[in-house]
C-alpha cells in the first residue's frame, strides 16, 4: 500500500520529522511518497533513509517539487 505526505512549504527539519512519524505507522514493505519543496530535503531525505534503514526507492523533480518514495524496512 502506498501513502502520501504533502510537506510542501515546510522547511528543515519538518519534512523529515513528519515523514518519520508517518513511517512509524506503516507496515513493513509499505511505501510513503513525500512531496517537498525545501532545498535541504536533497540532503535530509537520503540521510534519514540511511540512518533509519528505510529504502529510498526513488526521487524525482516535478518543477519546484521533489517527490521522494520511501519503503519501510
What pLDDT score does 53 carry?
Answer: 98
Domain housing 22: 2-71
Lookup result for grid cell 509499505? 30
Active site residues: 12
Residue 9's CATH number: 3.30.110.40
Fill in the DSSP letter of residue 19.
H
**Terminal alpha carbon distance of the chain:** 14
How many domains are there within the chain?
Answer: 1
Residue-wise pLDDT tens digits, 12-63: 999 999 999 999 999 999 999 999 999 999 999 999 999 999 999 999 999 9
What pLDDT score does 44 carry?
Answer: 97
Residue-wise pLDDT tens digits, 53-72: 999 999 999 999 999 999 99
User: Which is nearest to 4 in space by CA: 25, 24, 42, 31?
Assistant: 31
Amino acid at each position: 500500500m502506498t501513502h502520501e505526505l504533502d510537506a510542501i512549504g515546510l522547511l528543515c527539519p519538518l519534512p523529515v520529522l513528519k515523514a518519520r512519524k508517518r513511517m512509524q505507522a506503516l507496515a513493513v514493505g509499505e511505501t510513503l511518497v513525500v512531496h517537498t519543496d525545501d532545498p535541504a530535503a536533497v540532503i535530509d531525505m537520503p540521510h534519514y533513509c540511511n540512518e533509519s534503514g528505510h529504502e529510498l526507492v526513488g526521487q524525482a523533480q516535478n518543477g519546484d517539487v521533489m517527490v521522494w518514495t520511501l519503503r519501510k524496512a
